[in-house]
């Protein structure tokens, strides 16, 4: 772990330095890299090798700027001009802004003849050996080389010699394909593997034009964070096998959401087109996951498009309309005494769904309810020890976490429990035998995929996957974050919260929620930790909750 | 600014309209006899066709072409799908297996579908293609009995397109 | 009483001959003529515009085993058009007034057919006069009935419950009122000259004294050239007014404002489809035929051609050994054909004008009707009367 994953800089006494960026004097904390000062001043400096979360080797030379240092008088003090600012001596030689730290009185020009000329030259060098692969390259459309060659490139090649041939389609890892011809030797991937993933497997061999990125002999890029190298690769050298040749990026609609594979709640971008999710990439959130996420989590979305997805409400395995299915489920649940029904919810549900599940339990008088805990071994970085993404939320909303499962299982086995309501879980994993499920009089299941429980369901209600719904979850650190809808649910499947709302109404409970915002409002009104929050108020980066008091929001 | 139209001063004959009407009748009857004698310019399609006179740049049905070596030129970059104003093109890309002689091209269309009911023959797909793989050929009579028939799949597109020689072959060289 | 003597009882004879004549006029003349007129409209307009026109639909002989089809210059279109219209869905908009919506097309179709009842379409055939109803108020009947045609259009416009048909209906009614006056007044000089309203007698008069478009040209040659020219002047004025008013009365271009498609889509028949529309279509062409019939009868000598005898003649190129009835049959037949040939020529003229003269503006149309034609027609009556006084 590096400093990158820690939340905002602690507000200690870092001295502020005066820097002139394109003629304007500004103040930045000591230790800021010059390129960051430029970017913060609104002056974009093109770059390849620089990455805010990685060290600066300064090997792409794209971020060249013109530097000016204060003119020193005879007393070794800066001479001040009419405006009271130091007079700058402009260097005739450009400097790379990524590996230069700011100093007091420094001046920088991010444009001008010298800088333009340097960028054009660097661009031409970078393109000398670059193949004309754009039509087949997956990076096309989000390729820095393409973007900067539009701005600084020549549009034609002056290079008459033969291009250097390098290995293409190199299988360097389980999930990664390397195209060395496209590599511009920025070394971001190498530094990521060294500094963030701590799995030093990548390196350069050979010299000059023949420099080649490769894995060390006998090693492979199989780290569970390897796909982050694909994200940070500014060109199409590293491509994801999962996403390779699937869809051009310019078709993709990007939806901000969060990862639901563990309690970390990494921020993600869901890229989808016409109802199909094509890839998931991490979204920067320095409070949670910095810029990274594990491969195992980002690739775990294909089940959304599983052929077996539940698409139609089933009553005793026969397709039914939603109206019939809901009323049948409600009638079946109400036919038992409250003491003979149990509910198993899931900590994979959103807060809103859990809140409505709790309401449903109250409406039915159910007292035996629980969620299934999923302890697992984390990796100490972005995979937490909890496989449930919303354990905190489940606890906050008053659902027990595992304490009552054995009692429920025993009740089902003994016949004391005749009705079971299962929300998004496989009851067989909760200690209930499959045979016992078959003996239940009522088994209402809300889920998205068939499992061992669904065949026995008396009423089966198809719900939405994580990319198909909106809602909020609270990660293990107590940060409430939003899920957003990227695609619509398949077939007749509906939003979970709507299903629960309709069930509550059908069993005679209260209504009054018509949108997810209203569910959140109702939930916030009843939950002290959420007081004052709203769906919109959560924002893209989430809000850290003080789980015993009011939300702490000043940090944003 | 108001603009006053100056009406022409008409004499009595003009005011009566009748001379003008008679003049018009004479004109049209001349055309009538000319037409009745069969001297009109209408071309009797489909017995007579203009096909031989179609210009080189005629924009007929969009097709896919192969190069002289039989390689499908399309690499499935999907730019045509992107540019297509009526969204008539649907491409499903796939990776070329290593066993293929053109494996170095890496990518090709698994399925390439142009919905000719949607196509407006604008030619933007041809213009945008970086591989010179899609051409608007001279087939203009695209008909069918069903919607499915009007969807040109990859096989149909290559059948219509045939071979296009004499264009840039960037994949065939030293690479 | 045997059957033949029953059939030849005067009243019975009148009934069944009238029936036969009606059937002939309806199915032997009007419907084929309408069909032909529609075809001619398309073909003539095509030729005038240097096009080809319908030339495909003909005899599908390959269906019955022949090697190829014959297009017959597209004559099959005459059959194909009505079949198409018959087979179309008769779509009735939801909010129309059903009763009037249904009745309107019939109301436009019936008056032109009724007009034809009093028009003599031939001399005589085996002694039977070739007119269905030989009434003494002939021309008044024509005006009375033909002005009913406007009801169909007005009702269609109103019952369709739609703005364009409504505007078309309004235009039609005001247009008809404007031109009926001129139409009626313009033929008064004819009555002054002939002294009768009976259309058969007007034709007979023309057979004797020459066509009214050029009166006294043949026959009663007792008049001097000056007198003939003097009489000719009011007749030409009458003819021009009558002709132009007839265009307006039948809603033909240049006076087709009730269905001006650039402004009113289809005008009063916008909301009609299938046979409802077809009846309007038929009605328009039937009105054209009836109008042509009236013009031919009033000004062009009806069924007569100079030097061709009528059905009462016993002369057939000086042949002697022929049955007594044959000349009458031959000339009667020729007279009928002469009448319809003249009518056809006028239909051609109607079409010819349509593809020549652009549509009038509405204010021009009203001005022409009320300010010019009405006054001129009125003055023309006095002019004709003065001429007659001078001649006699």
Q: Which of A298-307, A342-351, C17-26 has the lowest mean pLDDT?
A: C17-26
Q: Is B111 on the interface with A (CB under 8 A)?
A: no
**Residue B107 exposure: Cα atoms within 13 Å on the Cβ side:** 22
The pLDDT of residue A179: 93
Write out pLDDT tens, residues B78-91.
999 999 999 999 99
Q: Which of A511-515, C224-228, C314-318 has the lowest mean pLDDT?
A: C314-318
Q: What are C51's two structure tokens? A: 């096009």
Q: What are B96's two structure tokens? A: 């070329």
> Alpha carbon A552 to chain centroid distance?
22
Contacts of B27 in chain C (CB under 8 A): 356
- pLDDT interval class at A12 (50, 70, 90): low
Please give the average per-residue pLDDT across A435-453, as a whole number.
Answer: 91
**Residue A338 exposure: Cα atoms within 13 Å on the Cβ side:** 11
Tell me if residue C52 falls in helix, strand or coil.
coil
Rounded to a whole number of angstroms, the distance from the CA of C156 to the nearest CA of chain B is 32
pLDDT of B21 > 50? The answer is yes
The pLDDT of residue C111: 87
Measured in residues, chain C has a length of 392
Contacts of B33 in chain C (CB under 8 A): 47
CB neighbours of residue C232 within 10 Å? 17
Beta sheet of A267-273, edge-to-edge order? A253-258, A267-273, A276-282
- Report the distance separating Cα C11 and Cα C24, nearest Å: 20
Q: Which of A57-71, A99-113, C125-139, C285-299 has the lowest mean pLDDT?
A: C125-139
Taking alpha carbons only, the member of A90, A85, A94 closest to residue A69 is: A90
Helix (H) or strand (E) holding B161: helix B154-161
Q: Is B98 on the interface with C (CB under 8 A)?
A: no
| B58, burial (CB in 10 Å: exposed 0-12, middle 13-18, buried 19+) | middle
- pLDDT interval class at A295 (50, 70, 90): very high
B34:C52 CB<8 A: no
pLDDT of A244 > 80? The answer is yes
Residue A243: C-alpha distances to residues A182, A281, A286, A437, C282 (Å): 18, 11, 26, 40, 68
For A65-98, the DSSP string reads EEEEEEPB-TTSSBPB-TTSSBPEEEEEEEEESS
Please give the average per-residue pLDDT across C234-247, as a whole number.
Answer: 88
Q: Is B105 on the interface with A (CB under 8 A)?
A: yes
The pLDDT of residue A550: 47
B77:A248 CB<8 A: yes
Taking alpha carbons only, the member of A129, A138, A206, A214 closest to residue A170 is: A214
- pLDDT interval class at A284 (50, 70, 90): very high
The pLDDT of residue C217: 57
Q: Are B86 and B150 in contact (CB under 8 A)?
A: no
The pLDDT of residue A217: 93
Tell me if residue A24 falls in helix, strand or coil.
strand
List chains touching C (3+ CB pairs under 8 A): B
Q: Are C363 and C260 in contact (CB under 8 A)?
A: no
Q: Is pTM beyond 0.80 here?
A: no
Average pLDDT along chain C: 82
- pLDDT interval class at A243 (50, 70, 90): very high
B28:C52 CB<8 A: no
Domains of chain A: 16-111 (3.10.20.740), 135-304 (3.30.70.20), 314-544 (3.40.50.740)
Q: Is C47 on the interface with B (CB under 8 A)?
A: yes
Q: Select from C44, C52, C355 the Cβ nearest to the Cβ of B42.
A: C52
- Report the distance separating Cα A443 and Cα A361, nearest Å: 15
Rounded to a whole number of angstroms, the distance from the CA of A248 to the nearest CA of chain B is 7
Residue ranges of domains in chain C: 19-53+93-391, 54-87
Please give the average per-residue pLDDT across B16-21, as a whole number.
Answer: 82
Does the N-terminal peptide bond of residue C254 adopt cis geometry, omega within 30 degrees of 0? yes
The pLDDT of residue C312: 67
pLDDT of C215 > 70? The answer is no
Write out pLDDT tens, residues A128-184.
888 888 899 999 999 999 999 998 888 888 888 888 889 888 999 999 999 999 999
| B165, burial (CB in 10 Å: exposed 0-12, middle 13-18, buried 19+) | exposed
Q: Select from A136, A165, A248 the Cβ nearest to the Cβ of B105.
A: A136
Q: Which of A204-218, A333-347, C377-391 has the lowest mean pLDDT?
A: C377-391
Rounded to a whole number of angstroms, the distance from the CA of B145 to the nearest CA of chain C is 21
The pLDDT of residue A297: 94
Q: Are A113 and A64 in contact (CB under 8 A)?
A: no
C356:B24 CB<8 A: yes
Sign of CA dihedral B72, B77, B80, B81: positive
Nearest CA in chain B to C49: B31
- pLDDT interval class at A276 (50, 70, 90): very high
Q: Are C182 and C377 in contact (CB under 8 A)?
A: yes
The pLDDT of residue C337: 85
Does the N-terminal peptide bond of residue B46 adopt cis geometry, omega within 30 degrees of 0? yes
pLDDT of C23 > 80? The answer is yes
Q: If you count DSSP H runs as helices and E runs as strands, how many of each does chain C have, helices first?
A: 16, 2
Residue pointed to by tokens 């809603």: C251
Contacts of B24 in chain C (CB under 8 A): 356-357
- Report the distance separating Cα B98 and Cα B95, nearest Å: 9
Q: Which of A5-9, C198-202, C264-268 has the lowest mean pLDDT?
A: A5-9
CB neighbours of residue B103 within 10 Å? 13
Q: Is B96 on the interface with A (CB under 8 A)?
A: no
The pLDDT of residue C145: 87
For A134-151, the DSSP string reads TTT-TTTTS-HHHHHHHH
Rounded to a whole number of angstroms, the distance from the CA of C287 to the nearest CA of chain B is 22
The pLDDT of residue A332: 92
Write out pLDDT tens, residues A82-136.
888 888 999 999 999 999 999 988 999 999 999 999 999 999 999 988 888 889 9
The pLDDT of residue A6: 44
ipTM over 0.90: no
End-to-end alpha carbon distance in chain A: 23
Contacts of B28 in chain C (CB under 8 A): 48, 352, 355-356
The pLDDT of residue A318: 93
Please give the average per-residue pLDDT across A334-338, as a whole number.
Answer: 91
Residue B105: C-alpha distances to residues A36, B75, B82 (Å): 39, 7, 21
Q: Are C59 and C94 in contact (CB under 8 A)?
A: no
Taking alpha carbons only, the member of B147, B84, B145, B143 closest to residue B119 is: B84
The pLDDT of residue C85: 84
C51:B40 CB<8 A: yes
* A310-314, C275-279, C355-359 — most confident range: A310-314
Instruction: Supply angle C-alpha B144, B149, B151, rounded to 5.
Output: 120
A132:B77 CB<8 A: no
Nearest CA in chain B to A251: B82
Q: Above pLDDT 90, what percent of chain A?
A: 67
pLDDT of A538 > 80? The answer is yes
Q: Are A151 and A46 in contact (CB under 8 A)?
A: yes
Q: Select from C51, C240, C356 the Cβ nearest to the Cβ of B28.
A: C356
Average pLDDT along chain A: 89
B79:A162 CB<8 A: no
The pLDDT of residue A202: 94
Write out pLDDT tens, residues A492-534.
999 999 999 999 999 988 877 899 999 999 999 988 888 889 9
Orientation angle between helical segments C163-186 and C225-249, nearest 10 degrees: 160
The pLDDT of residue A32: 92
The pLDDT of residue A216: 94
A162:B94 CB<8 A: no
The pLDDT of residue A554: 44
Dihedral over alpha carbons B112, B117, B121, B127 (to 10 degrees): -30
Write out pLDDT tens, residues C338-353.
888 888 898 899 889 8
Please give the average per-residue pLDDT across A272-291, as a whole number.
Answer: 93
For C190-235, the DSSP string reads HHHHH----HHHHHHHHHHH--TTSTTSSS-TTS-HHHHHHHHHHH
Write out pLDDT tens, residues B93-130.
999 998 988 888 889 999 999 999 999 999 999 999 99
Q: Which CATH architecture has domain B52-171?
A: 2-Layer Sandwich (3.30)
- Report the distance separating Cα A114 and Cα A527, nearest Å: 60
The pLDDT of residue A556: 39
Please give the average per-residue pLDDT across C277-304, as a whole number.
Answer: 85
The pLDDT of residue A184: 92
End-to-end alpha carbon distance in chain C: 54
C touches A, CB cut-off 8 Å, minimum 3 pairs: no
For C84-152, the DSSP string reads HHHHS-----TTS-HHHHHHHHHHHHHHHHHHGGGS--SSEETTEES-S---TTHHHHHHHHHTTHHHH
The pLDDT of residue B13: 80
Residues 6+ apart with CB under 8 A from C2: none
- Report the distance separating Cα A55 and Cα A308, nearest Å: 46
């Amino acid at each position: 772990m590096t400093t990158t994953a820690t939340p905002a800089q602690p507000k200690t006494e870092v001295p502020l330095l005066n820097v002139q960026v394109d003629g304007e004097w500004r103040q930045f904390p000591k230790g800021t890299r010059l390129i960051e000062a430029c970017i913060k001043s609104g002056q974009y400096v093109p770059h390849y090798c620089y990455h805010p979360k990685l060290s600066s080797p300064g090997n792409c030379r794209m971020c060249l700027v013109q530097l000016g240092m204060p003119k020193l008088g005879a007393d070794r003090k800066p001479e001040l001009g009419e405006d009271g600012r130091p007079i700058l001596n402009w260097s005739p030689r450009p400097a790379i802004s990524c590996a230069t730290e700011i100093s007091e009185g420094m001046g920088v020009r991010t444009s001008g003849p010298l800088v333009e000329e340097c960028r054009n030259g660097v661009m031409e060098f970078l393109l000398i050996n670059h193949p004309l692969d754009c039509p087949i390259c997956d990076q096309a459309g989000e390729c820095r080389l393409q973007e900067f060659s539009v701005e600084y490139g020549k549009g034609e090649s002056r290079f008459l010699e033969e291009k250097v041939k390098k290995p293409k389609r190199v299988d360097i890892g389980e999930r990664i394909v390397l195209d060395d011809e496209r590599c511009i030797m920025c070394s971001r991937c190498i530094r990521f593997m060294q500094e963030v993933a701590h799995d030093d497997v990548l390196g350069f061999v050979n010299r000059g034009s023949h420099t080649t990125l490769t894995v060390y002999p006998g090693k492979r890029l199989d780290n569970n964070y390897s796909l982050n190298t694909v994200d940070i690769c500014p060109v199409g050298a590293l491509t994801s096998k999962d996403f390779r040749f699937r869809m051009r990026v310019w078709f993709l609609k990007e939806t901000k959401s969060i990862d639901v594979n563990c309690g970390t709640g990494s921020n993600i971008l869901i890229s989808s087109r016409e109802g199909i999710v094509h890839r998931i990439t991490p979204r920067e959130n320095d409070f949670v996951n910095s810029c990274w996420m594990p491969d195992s989590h980002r690739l775990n979305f294909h089940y959304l498009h599983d052929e077996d997805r539940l698409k139609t409400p089933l009553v005793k395995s026969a397709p039914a309309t939603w109206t019939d299915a809901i009323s049948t489920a409600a009638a079946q649940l109400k036919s038992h005494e409250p003491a003979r029904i149990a509910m198993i919810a899931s900590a994979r549900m959103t807060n809103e769904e859990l809140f409505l599940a709790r309401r449903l339990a109250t409406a039915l008088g159910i007292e035996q309810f629980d969620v299934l805990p999923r302890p697992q071994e984390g990796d100490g970085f972005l995979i937490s020890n909890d496989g449930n993404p919303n354990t905190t939320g489940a606890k906050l909303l008053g659902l027990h976490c595992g304490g009552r499962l054995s009692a429920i299982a025993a009740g089902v086995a003994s016949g004391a429990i005749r009705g079971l309501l299962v929300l998004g879980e496989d009851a067989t994993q909760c200690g209930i035998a499959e045979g016992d499920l078959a003996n239940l009089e009522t088994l209402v299941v809300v889920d998205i995929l068939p499992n061992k429980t669904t065949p026995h369901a008396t009423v089966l209600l198809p719900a939405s996957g994580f990319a198909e719904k909106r809602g909020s979850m609270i990660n293990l650190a107590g940060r409430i974050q939003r899920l957003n809808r990227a695609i619509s649910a398949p077939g007749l499947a509906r939003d979970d919260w709507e299903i629960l709302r309709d069930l509550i109404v059908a069993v005679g409970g209260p209504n009054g929620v018509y949108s997810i915002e209203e569910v959140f409002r109702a939930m916030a009104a009843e939950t002290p930790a959420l007081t004052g929050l709203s769906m919109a108020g959560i924002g893209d980066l989430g809000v850290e909750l003080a789980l015993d008091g009011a939300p702490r929001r000043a940090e944003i | 600014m108001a603009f006053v139209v100056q009406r022409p001063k008409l004499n009595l004959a003009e005011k009566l309209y009748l001379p003008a009407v008679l003049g018009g009748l004479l004109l049209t009857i001349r055309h009538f006899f000319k037409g009745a004698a069969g001297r009109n310019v209408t071309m009797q399609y489909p017995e007579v066709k203009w096909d031989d006179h179609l210009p080189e740049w005629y924009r007929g049905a969009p097709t896919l072409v192969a190069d002289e070596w039989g390689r499908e030129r399309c690499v499935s970059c999907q730019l045509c799908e992107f540019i297509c104003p009526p969204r008539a093109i649907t491409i499903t890309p796939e990776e070329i297996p290593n066993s293929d002689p053109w494996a170095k091209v890496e990518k090709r269309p698994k399925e390439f579908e142009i919905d000719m009911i949607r196509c407006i023959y604008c030619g933007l797909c041809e213009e945008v293609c970086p591989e010179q793989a899609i051409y608007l050929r001279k087939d203009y009579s695209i008909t069918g009995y069903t919607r499915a028939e009007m969807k040109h799949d990859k096989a149909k597109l290559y059948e219509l397109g045939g071979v296009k020689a004499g264009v840039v072959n960037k994949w065939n060289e030293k690479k | 009483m045997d059957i033949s003597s029953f059939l030849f009882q005067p009243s019975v004879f009148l009934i069944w001959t009238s029936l036969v004549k009606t059937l002939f006029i309806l199915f032997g003349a009007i419907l084929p003529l309408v069909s032909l007129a529609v075809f001619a409209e398309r073909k003539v307009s095509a030729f005038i515009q240097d096009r080809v026109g319908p030339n495909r639909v003909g005899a599908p002989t390959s269906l019955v085993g022949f090697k190829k089809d014959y297009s017959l210059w597209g004559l099959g279109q005459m059959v194909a058009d009505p079949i198409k219209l018959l087979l179309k869905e008769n779509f009735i908009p939801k909010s129309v007034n059903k009763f009037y919506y249904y009745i309107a097309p019939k109301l436009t179709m019936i008056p032109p057919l009724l007009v034809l009842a009093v028009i003599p379409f031939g001399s005589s055939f085996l002694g039977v006069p070739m007119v269905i109803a030989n009434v003494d108020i002939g021309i008044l009947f024509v005006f009375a009935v033909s002005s009913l045609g406007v009801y169909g259009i007005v009702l269609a416009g109103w019952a369709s419950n739609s703005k364009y048909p409504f505007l078309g209906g309004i235009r039609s009614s005001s247009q008809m009122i404007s031109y009926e006056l001129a139409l009626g007044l313009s033929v008064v000089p004819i009555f002054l000259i002939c002294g009768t309203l009976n259309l058969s007698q007007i034709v007979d008069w023309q057979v004797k004294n020459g066509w009214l478009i050029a009166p006294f040209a043949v026959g009663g040659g007792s008049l001097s050239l000056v007198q003939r020219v003097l009489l000719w002047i009011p007749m030409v004025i009458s003819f021009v007014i009558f002709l132009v008013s007839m265009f307006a009365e039948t809603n033909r271009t240049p006076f087709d404002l009730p269905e001006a498609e650039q402004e009113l889509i289809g005008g009063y028949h916008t909301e009609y489809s299938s046979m409802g529309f077809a009846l309007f279509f038929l009605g328009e062409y039937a009105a054209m035929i009836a109008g042509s019939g009236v013009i031919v009868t009033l000004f062009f000598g009806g069924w007569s051609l100079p030097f061709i005898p009528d059905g009462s003649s016993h002369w057939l190129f000086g042949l002697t050994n022929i049955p007594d009835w044959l000349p009458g049959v031959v000339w009667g037949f020729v007279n009928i054909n002469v009448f319809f040939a003249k009518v056809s020529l006028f239909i051609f003229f109607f079409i010819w004008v349509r593809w020549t003269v652009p549509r009038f503006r509405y204010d021009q149309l009203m001005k022409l009707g009320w300010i010019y034609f009405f006054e001129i027609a009125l003055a023309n009556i006095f002019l004709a009367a003065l001429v007659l006084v001078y001649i006699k």
